Protein backbone atom coordinates (compact mmCIF):
# COMPACT_ATOMS: atom_id res chain seq x y z
CA UNK A 1 0.00 0.00 0.00
CA UNK A 2 1.49 3.37 -0.95
CA UNK A 3 2.06 6.08 1.63
CA UNK A 4 -0.38 8.40 -0.16
CA UNK A 5 -3.10 5.76 0.04
CA UNK A 6 -2.52 5.11 3.73
CA UNK A 7 -2.82 8.83 4.31
CA UNK A 8 -6.19 9.04 2.52
CA UNK A 9 -7.58 6.10 4.45
CA UNK A 10 -6.46 7.64 7.72
CA UNK A 11 -8.20 10.90 6.83
CA UNK A 12 -11.50 9.28 6.05
CA UNK A 13 -11.39 7.10 9.15
CA UNK A 14 -10.69 10.07 11.41
CA UNK A 15 -13.81 11.94 10.35
CA UNK A 16 -16.11 9.09 9.39
CA UNK A 17 -19.75 9.89 9.95
CA UNK A 18 -19.16 13.60 10.38
CA UNK A 19 -19.20 14.75 6.79
CA UNK A 20 -22.15 16.89 5.85
CA UNK A 21 -22.82 17.15 2.16
CA UNK A 22 -23.50 20.73 1.22
CA UNK A 23 -22.94 23.54 -1.24
CA UNK A 24 -21.17 26.75 -0.30
CA UNK A 25 -22.41 29.46 -2.62
CA UNK A 26 -22.25 33.15 -3.43
CA UNK A 27 -18.53 33.47 -2.76
CA UNK A 28 -15.59 34.95 -4.67
CA UNK A 29 -13.76 31.69 -5.09
CA UNK A 30 -9.97 31.94 -5.42
CA UNK A 31 -9.37 28.41 -6.69
CA UNK A 32 -5.55 28.83 -7.03
CA UNK A 33 -5.93 26.22 -9.76
CA UNK A 34 -3.50 27.86 -12.20
CA UNK A 35 -4.51 29.05 -15.66
CA UNK A 36 -4.75 32.60 -16.95
CA UNK A 37 -7.31 34.09 -14.56
CA UNK A 38 -5.54 35.74 -11.58
CA UNK A 39 -6.00 33.61 -8.43
CA UNK A 40 -8.20 31.29 -10.55
CA UNK A 41 -11.00 33.60 -9.40
CA UNK A 42 -14.65 32.60 -9.94
CA UNK A 43 -17.15 35.31 -8.94
CA UNK A 44 -20.59 34.23 -7.67
CA UNK A 45 -19.07 30.81 -7.33
CA UNK A 46 -20.39 27.62 -5.76
CA UNK A 47 -18.50 24.65 -4.35
CA UNK A 48 -20.28 21.33 -3.82
CA UNK A 49 -18.87 19.11 -1.07
CA UNK A 50 -19.58 15.39 -0.78
CA UNK A 51 -17.99 13.05 1.75
CA UNK A 52 -15.42 15.67 2.64
CA UNK A 53 -14.25 16.24 -0.91
CA UNK A 54 -15.07 18.80 -3.58
CA UNK A 55 -17.45 17.29 -6.14
CA UNK A 56 -18.29 20.37 -8.21
CA UNK A 57 -16.96 23.92 -8.63
CA UNK A 58 -18.21 26.70 -10.89
CA UNK A 59 -20.63 29.60 -11.18
CA UNK A 60 -23.62 29.27 -8.86
CA UNK A 61 -25.90 29.86 -11.83
CA UNK A 62 -24.51 26.71 -13.44
CA UNK A 63 -24.86 24.40 -10.44
CA UNK A 64 -26.41 21.12 -11.71
CA UNK A 65 -29.94 20.19 -10.58
CA UNK A 66 -28.58 17.10 -8.87
CA UNK A 67 -27.47 19.37 -5.98
CA UNK A 68 -31.02 20.73 -5.42
CA UNK A 69 -31.46 18.66 -2.26
CA UNK A 70 -28.15 19.86 -0.73
CA UNK A 71 -28.04 22.34 2.11
CA UNK A 72 -26.73 25.66 0.78
CA UNK A 73 -24.47 27.90 2.89
CA UNK A 74 -24.55 31.48 1.59
CA UNK A 75 -21.15 33.15 1.83
CA UNK A 76 -22.50 36.67 1.29
CA UNK A 77 -19.92 37.49 -1.39
CA UNK A 78 -16.94 36.70 0.86
CA UNK A 79 -13.65 35.43 -0.55
CA UNK A 80 -13.03 31.67 -0.35
CA UNK A 81 -9.55 30.20 -0.74
CA UNK A 82 -8.06 26.76 -0.16
CA UNK A 83 -7.30 26.44 3.57
CA UNK A 84 -3.71 27.50 4.24
CA UNK A 85 -0.78 25.08 4.55
CA UNK A 86 2.29 25.85 6.67
CA UNK A 87 4.82 23.55 5.02
CA UNK A 88 7.88 24.22 7.25
CA UNK A 89 7.70 24.51 11.03
CA UNK A 90 9.71 23.54 14.10
CA UNK A 91 6.68 24.26 16.29
CA UNK A 92 7.45 21.57 18.93
CA UNK A 93 10.28 22.68 21.26
CA UNK A 94 11.18 23.30 24.89
CA UNK A 95 11.94 26.73 26.38
CA UNK A 96 12.43 29.88 24.36
CA UNK A 97 15.31 32.04 23.18
CA UNK A 98 14.30 35.54 24.29
CA UNK A 99 17.74 36.01 25.93
CA UNK A 100 19.43 35.22 22.64
CA UNK A 101 17.20 37.82 20.99
CA UNK A 102 18.62 40.34 23.45
CA UNK A 103 22.18 39.19 22.66
CA UNK A 104 21.60 39.67 18.95
CA UNK A 105 20.34 43.17 19.64
CA UNK A 106 23.57 43.77 21.56
CA UNK A 107 25.54 42.83 18.44
CA UNK A 108 26.11 39.05 18.47
CA UNK A 109 25.33 37.24 15.20
CA UNK A 110 23.28 34.03 14.85
CA UNK A 111 26.50 32.20 13.95
CA UNK A 112 28.43 33.72 16.94
CA UNK A 113 25.71 32.51 19.30
CA UNK A 114 25.65 29.07 17.72
CA UNK A 115 29.46 28.73 18.03
CA UNK A 116 29.28 29.81 21.69
CA UNK A 117 27.01 26.86 22.50
CA UNK A 118 23.79 28.84 22.29
CA UNK A 119 21.33 28.78 19.45
CA UNK A 120 19.87 25.45 18.42
CA UNK A 121 21.90 23.60 21.06
CA UNK A 122 20.31 25.61 23.91
CA UNK A 123 16.86 24.62 22.67
CA UNK A 124 18.11 21.03 22.57
CA UNK A 125 18.88 21.15 26.32
CA UNK A 126 15.40 22.55 27.08
CA UNK A 127 13.70 20.01 24.82
CA UNK A 128 15.57 17.01 26.23
CA UNK A 129 14.50 18.14 29.72
CA UNK A 130 10.82 18.45 28.77
CA UNK A 131 8.26 15.68 29.15
CA UNK A 132 6.02 14.76 26.21
CA UNK A 133 3.07 16.44 27.98
CA UNK A 134 5.05 19.67 28.46
CA UNK A 135 6.08 19.80 24.83
CA UNK A 136 2.48 19.24 23.75
CA UNK A 137 1.12 21.90 26.11
CA UNK A 138 3.69 24.42 24.86
CA UNK A 139 3.06 23.68 21.17
CA UNK A 140 -0.76 23.66 21.13
CA UNK A 141 -1.27 27.44 21.61
CA UNK A 142 1.12 28.06 18.74
CA UNK A 143 -0.76 25.57 16.55
CA UNK A 144 -4.09 27.13 17.55
CA UNK A 145 -2.81 30.51 16.46
CA UNK A 146 -2.11 29.08 13.00
CA UNK A 147 -5.52 27.37 12.88
CA UNK A 148 -7.20 30.67 13.79
CA UNK A 149 -5.77 32.09 10.56
CA UNK A 150 -7.21 29.37 8.33
CA UNK A 151 -4.40 26.80 8.42
CA UNK A 152 -5.60 23.21 7.88
CA UNK A 153 -2.28 21.43 7.42
CA UNK A 154 1.17 21.91 8.85
CA UNK A 155 4.49 20.21 8.73
CA UNK A 156 6.33 19.71 12.01
CA UNK A 157 10.01 18.83 12.25
CA UNK A 158 12.00 17.19 14.99
CA UNK A 159 15.59 18.39 15.39
CA UNK A 160 15.80 19.66 18.96
CA UNK A 161 16.46 16.22 20.43
CA UNK A 162 19.56 15.13 18.54
CA UNK A 163 19.34 11.77 20.28
CA UNK A 164 17.13 8.83 19.35
CA UNK A 165 14.79 9.13 22.34
CA UNK A 166 14.13 12.89 22.20
CA UNK A 167 13.77 12.98 18.41
CA UNK A 168 11.06 10.30 18.67
CA UNK A 169 9.40 12.16 21.57
CA UNK A 170 9.14 15.34 19.49
CA UNK A 171 7.56 13.44 16.62
CA UNK A 172 5.10 11.70 18.95
CA UNK A 173 4.05 15.16 20.12
CA UNK A 174 3.61 16.20 16.49
CA UNK A 175 1.32 13.22 15.89
CA UNK A 176 -0.64 13.98 19.09
CA UNK A 177 -1.26 17.54 17.90
CA UNK A 178 -3.23 16.13 14.97
CA UNK A 179 -5.22 13.89 17.32
CA UNK A 180 -5.98 16.75 19.72
CA UNK A 181 -6.90 19.53 17.28
CA UNK A 182 -8.57 19.77 13.85
CA UNK A 183 -5.41 20.02 11.81
CA UNK A 184 -3.48 17.66 9.55
CA UNK A 185 0.18 17.17 10.46
CA UNK A 186 3.01 15.86 8.31
CA UNK A 187 6.02 14.90 10.38
CA UNK A 188 9.62 15.41 9.33
CA UNK A 189 12.64 13.81 11.00
CA UNK A 190 15.39 16.46 11.29
CA UNK A 191 17.95 14.47 13.28
CA UNK A 192 20.86 16.12 11.44
CA UNK A 193 19.97 19.65 12.56
CA UNK A 194 22.99 20.54 14.72
CA UNK A 195 25.91 18.81 16.39
CA UNK A 196 25.09 18.09 20.05
CA UNK A 197 27.79 18.81 22.63
CA UNK A 198 28.46 15.13 23.38
CA UNK A 199 29.58 14.70 19.74
CA UNK A 200 31.77 17.87 19.64
CA UNK A 201 34.50 17.39 17.05
CA UNK A 202 32.97 14.09 15.87
CA UNK A 203 30.34 15.03 13.27
CA UNK A 204 30.78 11.81 11.32
CA UNK A 205 30.11 9.74 14.44
CA UNK A 206 26.97 11.78 15.03
CA UNK A 207 25.78 11.22 11.45
CA UNK A 208 26.37 7.49 11.98
CA UNK A 209 24.19 7.60 15.11
CA UNK A 210 21.45 9.42 13.18
CA UNK A 211 21.59 6.86 10.36
CA UNK A 212 21.89 3.70 12.48
CA UNK A 213 19.88 4.58 15.54
CA UNK A 214 17.74 7.73 15.63
CA UNK A 215 16.16 7.55 12.16
CA UNK A 216 15.41 3.80 12.23
CA UNK A 217 13.84 4.15 15.70
CA UNK A 218 11.55 7.00 14.63
CA UNK A 219 10.61 5.20 11.40
CA UNK A 220 9.99 2.00 13.35
CA UNK A 221 7.47 3.85 15.52
CA UNK A 222 5.66 5.14 12.41
CA UNK A 223 6.62 8.73 13.16
CA UNK A 224 8.35 9.84 9.95
CA UNK A 225 6.66 11.20 6.81
CA UNK A 226 9.84 12.87 5.47
CA UNK A 227 13.52 13.35 6.33
CA UNK A 228 15.24 16.76 6.46
CA UNK A 229 18.75 17.99 7.34
CA UNK A 230 20.51 21.33 7.89
CA UNK A 231 23.25 21.65 5.27
CA UNK A 232 25.36 24.64 6.30
CA UNK A 233 28.80 25.73 7.50
CA UNK A 234 27.53 25.69 11.11
CA UNK A 235 25.79 22.32 10.57
CA UNK A 236 26.52 19.47 8.11
CA UNK A 237 28.25 19.12 4.73
CA UNK A 238 26.48 17.83 1.61
CA UNK A 239 28.40 14.53 1.96
CA UNK A 240 27.26 14.08 5.56
CA UNK A 241 23.65 14.90 4.68
CA UNK A 242 23.80 12.51 1.71
CA UNK A 243 24.51 9.66 4.13
CA UNK A 244 21.24 10.39 5.95
CA UNK A 245 19.38 10.71 2.65
CA UNK A 246 20.70 7.30 1.52
CA UNK A 247 19.09 5.73 4.56
CA UNK A 248 15.83 7.60 3.84
CA UNK A 249 15.90 6.40 0.24
CA UNK A 250 16.38 2.82 1.43
CA UNK A 251 13.28 3.21 3.60
CA UNK A 252 11.29 4.83 0.75
CA UNK A 253 10.86 8.11 2.66
CA UNK A 254 11.01 11.43 0.75
CA UNK A 255 13.65 14.01 1.70
CA UNK A 256 13.87 17.80 1.97
CA UNK A 257 16.70 20.09 2.99
CA UNK A 258 17.59 23.34 4.80
CA UNK A 259 20.14 24.76 2.39
CA UNK A 260 21.83 27.91 1.16
CA UNK A 261 20.54 29.90 4.18
CA UNK A 262 23.78 31.52 5.41
CA UNK A 263 26.18 30.45 2.64
CA UNK A 264 26.23 28.24 -0.48
CA UNK A 265 27.86 24.85 -0.01
CA UNK A 266 25.87 22.97 -2.65
CA UNK A 267 23.21 21.33 -0.50
CA UNK A 268 20.42 22.03 -2.97
CA UNK A 269 22.17 20.35 -5.90
CA UNK A 270 22.95 17.33 -3.75
CA UNK A 271 19.31 17.13 -2.57
CA UNK A 272 18.03 17.45 -6.15
CA UNK A 273 19.97 14.24 -6.84
CA UNK A 274 17.67 12.59 -4.28
CA UNK A 275 14.54 14.13 -5.93
CA UNK A 276 13.91 16.15 -2.75
CA UNK A 277 10.36 17.40 -2.19
CA UNK A 278 11.74 20.83 -1.35
CA UNK A 279 14.82 22.89 -0.64
CA UNK A 280 14.22 25.52 2.01
CA UNK A 281 15.62 29.01 2.87
CA UNK A 282 17.76 29.54 -0.29
CA UNK A 283 18.96 33.13 0.22
CA UNK A 284 22.39 32.11 -1.16
CA UNK A 285 21.12 29.80 -3.94
CA UNK A 286 22.96 30.20 -7.27
CA UNK A 287 21.88 29.52 -10.84
CA UNK A 288 23.26 25.97 -10.87
CA UNK A 289 21.15 25.22 -7.81
CA UNK A 290 18.04 26.72 -9.42
CA UNK A 291 18.55 24.61 -12.54
CA UNK A 292 19.03 21.48 -10.48
CA UNK A 293 15.74 22.22 -8.68
CA UNK A 294 13.89 22.79 -11.96
CA UNK A 295 15.27 19.55 -13.38
CA UNK A 296 14.26 17.46 -10.39
CA UNK A 297 10.89 19.11 -9.63
CA UNK A 298 12.06 20.43 -6.24
CA UNK A 299 9.85 23.10 -4.61
CA UNK A 300 11.59 26.24 -3.28
CA UNK A 301 10.33 26.95 0.25
CA UNK A 302 11.16 30.53 1.22
CA UNK A 303 11.08 31.61 4.85
CA UNK A 304 10.82 35.39 5.17
CA UNK A 305 10.35 35.17 8.95
CA UNK A 306 13.93 33.90 9.37
CA UNK A 307 15.21 36.46 6.84
CA UNK A 308 13.52 39.20 8.86
CA UNK A 309 14.56 37.96 12.31
CA UNK A 310 18.21 37.48 11.32
CA UNK A 311 18.23 40.82 9.43
CA UNK A 312 19.44 39.02 6.32
CA UNK A 313 20.06 41.32 3.39
CA UNK A 314 20.53 38.78 0.59
CA UNK A 315 17.16 38.04 -0.98
CA UNK A 316 16.56 34.57 -2.49
CA UNK A 317 16.91 34.56 -6.31
CA UNK A 318 13.20 34.98 -6.99
CA UNK A 319 13.61 36.03 -10.64
CA UNK A 320 15.75 32.96 -11.41
CA UNK A 321 13.26 30.69 -9.68
CA UNK A 322 10.43 32.25 -11.69
CA UNK A 323 12.34 32.11 -14.97
CA UNK A 324 13.09 28.41 -14.45
CA UNK A 325 9.53 27.54 -13.44
CA UNK A 326 10.46 26.39 -9.94
CA UNK A 327 7.31 26.40 -7.74
CA UNK A 328 7.74 28.74 -4.76
CA UNK A 329 6.15 28.01 -1.38
CA UNK A 330 6.43 30.16 1.74
CA UNK A 331 6.12 29.13 5.39
CA UNK A 332 6.53 30.42 8.93
CA UNK A 333 9.62 28.31 9.85
CA UNK A 334 8.10 28.70 13.36
CA UNK A 335 11.04 28.04 15.69
CA UNK A 336 12.40 29.60 18.89
CA UNK A 337 15.59 31.01 17.35
CA UNK A 338 15.45 32.36 13.83
CA UNK A 339 11.69 32.70 13.32
CA UNK A 340 9.46 32.92 16.40
CA UNK A 341 6.49 33.47 14.11
CA UNK A 342 3.02 31.94 14.46
CA UNK A 343 1.23 33.99 11.81
CA UNK A 344 1.16 32.63 8.28
CA UNK A 345 -0.73 35.76 7.16
CA UNK A 346 2.19 37.90 8.36
CA UNK A 347 4.46 35.70 6.23
CA UNK A 348 2.34 36.53 3.15
CA UNK A 349 3.00 40.20 3.77
CA UNK A 350 6.71 39.64 4.40
CA UNK A 351 7.05 37.58 1.19
CA UNK A 352 5.68 40.52 -0.77
CA UNK A 353 7.45 43.33 1.07
CA UNK A 354 10.84 41.66 1.67
CA UNK A 355 11.08 39.28 -1.33
CA UNK A 356 9.04 41.25 -3.89
CA UNK A 357 6.68 38.35 -4.48
CA UNK A 358 3.21 39.24 -5.74
CA UNK A 359 0.19 38.70 -3.46
CA UNK A 360 -0.94 35.99 -5.88
CA UNK A 361 2.44 34.24 -5.65
CA UNK A 362 2.34 34.53 -1.87
CA UNK A 363 -1.13 32.97 -1.64
CA UNK A 364 -0.12 30.24 -4.09
CA UNK A 365 2.90 29.70 -1.85
CA UNK A 366 0.74 28.78 1.15
CA UNK A 367 -1.75 26.69 -0.84
CA UNK A 368 -0.89 24.91 -4.07
CA UNK A 369 2.90 25.05 -3.81
CA UNK A 370 2.92 24.33 -0.08
CA UNK A 371 0.89 21.18 -0.77
CA UNK A 372 3.48 20.16 -3.37
CA UNK A 373 6.31 20.77 -0.89
CA UNK A 374 4.66 18.15 1.33
CA UNK A 375 3.83 15.71 -1.48
CA UNK A 376 0.11 16.35 -0.90
CA UNK A 377 -0.76 17.97 -4.23
CA UNK A 378 -3.17 15.17 -5.19
CA UNK A 379 -5.39 16.02 -2.22
CA UNK A 380 -4.81 19.60 -1.16
CA UNK A 381 -3.82 23.13 -2.11
CA UNK A 382 -6.43 24.01 -4.73
CA UNK A 383 -10.19 24.29 -4.95
CA UNK A 384 -10.78 21.64 -7.59
CA UNK A 385 -12.94 18.56 -8.08
CA UNK A 386 -11.60 15.58 -6.17
CA UNK A 387 -9.55 17.56 -3.63
CA UNK A 388 -10.26 17.43 0.09
CA UNK A 389 -12.69 20.23 1.04
CA UNK A 390 -10.34 22.26 3.25
CA UNK A 391 -11.42 25.85 2.71
CA UNK A 392 -10.97 29.25 4.32
CA UNK A 393 -13.69 31.92 4.07
CA UNK A 394 -12.48 35.48 4.57
CA UNK A 395 -14.18 38.80 5.38
CA UNK A 396 -12.44 40.57 2.53
CA UNK A 397 -13.39 41.71 -0.96
CA UNK A 398 -10.25 40.58 -2.85
CA UNK A 399 -7.59 37.91 -2.13
CA UNK A 400 -4.76 40.48 -2.33
CA UNK A 401 -6.01 41.80 1.04
CA UNK A 402 -4.59 38.69 2.70
CA UNK A 403 -1.07 39.85 1.82
CA UNK A 404 -1.73 43.57 2.19
CA UNK A 405 -2.98 43.73 5.76
CA UNK A 406 -0.51 43.53 8.64
CA UNK A 407 -1.82 42.15 11.92
CA UNK A 408 -5.45 41.77 10.85
CA UNK A 409 -7.04 38.34 10.84
CA UNK A 410 -10.07 38.43 8.53
CA UNK A 411 -10.90 34.71 8.80
CA UNK A 412 -14.69 34.26 8.81
CA UNK A 413 -14.85 30.47 8.79
CA UNK A 414 -12.59 27.48 8.24
CA UNK A 415 -13.96 24.36 6.57
CA UNK A 416 -11.99 21.25 7.47
CA UNK A 417 -12.69 18.11 5.43
CA UNK A 418 -16.10 19.47 4.53
CA UNK A 419 -17.22 20.61 7.98
CA UNK A 420 -16.97 24.02 9.65
CA UNK A 421 -14.22 23.74 12.25
N1 LIG B 1 17.32 26.86 10.04
C2 LIG B 1 16.41 27.55 10.69
O3 LIG B 1 15.95 28.59 10.35
C4 LIG B 1 16.04 26.83 11.90
N5 LIG B 1 16.76 25.62 11.75
C6 LIG B 1 17.51 25.70 10.69
O7 LIG B 1 18.23 24.80 10.33
C8 LIG B 1 16.48 27.58 13.10
C9 LIG B 1 16.51 26.75 14.31
C10 LIG B 1 16.88 27.50 15.55
O11 LIG B 1 17.60 28.51 15.53
O12 LIG B 1 16.48 27.02 16.63
FE1 LIG C 1 13.69 25.62 9.47
Contact 271, 248 (CB under 8 A): no
Indicate the top mutation candidate among 227, 305, 310, 333 to test ligand 1's pocket, ranked by most ligand atoms within 8 A of CB.
333
Q: Which atom of ligand 1 is nearest to the CA of 333?
A: 3
When pLDDT is averaged across residues 347-354 and rounded to a whole number, the result is 98
Whole-number Å distance between alpha carbons of 340 and 115: 20
Q: Which atom of ligand 1 is nearest to the CA of 160?
A: 12
Which residue is closest in CA terms to ligand 1's atom 10? 337
| Average pLDDT score, the chain | 94
Ligand number, closest to the Cα atom of 235: 1
**What confidence score (pLDDT) does residue 4 get?**
34
The H or E element spanning position 138 is helix 132-147
DSSP 296: H
- Among 183, 128, 131, CA closest to 159: 128
More confident residue, 3 or 59: 59
- Inform me whether the pLDDT recorded for 14 exceeds 50: no
Confidence of residue 159 (pLDDT cuts 50, 70, 90): very high
More confident residue, 18 or 62: 62
- Inform me whether the pLDDT recorded for 398 exceeds 70: yes
**What confidence score (pLDDT) does residue 332 get?**
98
- Give 36: exposed, middle or buried? Use CB within 10 Å, 0-12, 13-18, 19+: exposed
Whats the size of the chain, residue-wise?
421
Residue 351 CA, ligand 1 centroid: distance in Å: 18
- Inform me whether the pLDDT recorded for 331 exceeds 80: yes
- Inform me whether the pLDDT recorded for 17 exceeds 90: no
Reported pTM: 0.95
Indicate the top mutation candidate among 114, 123, 337 to test ligand 1's pocket, ranked by most ligand atoms within 8 A of CB.
337
Residues 191-246 pLDDT 10s: 999 999 999 999 999 999 999 999 999 999 999 999 999 999 989 999 999 999 99
Amino acid sequence: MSRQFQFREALVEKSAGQFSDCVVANGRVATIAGGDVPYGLIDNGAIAIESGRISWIGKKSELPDSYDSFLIHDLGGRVVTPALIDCHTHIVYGGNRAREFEMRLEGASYEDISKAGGGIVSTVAATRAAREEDLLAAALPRVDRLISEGVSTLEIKSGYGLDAETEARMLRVARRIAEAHPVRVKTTFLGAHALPQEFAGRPDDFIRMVCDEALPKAVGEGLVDAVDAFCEGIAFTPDQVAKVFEVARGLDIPVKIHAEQLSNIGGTEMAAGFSALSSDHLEHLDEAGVRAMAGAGVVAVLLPGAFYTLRETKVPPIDLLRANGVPIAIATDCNPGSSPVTSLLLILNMACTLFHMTPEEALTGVTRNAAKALGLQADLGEIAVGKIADLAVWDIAHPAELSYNIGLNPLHMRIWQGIAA
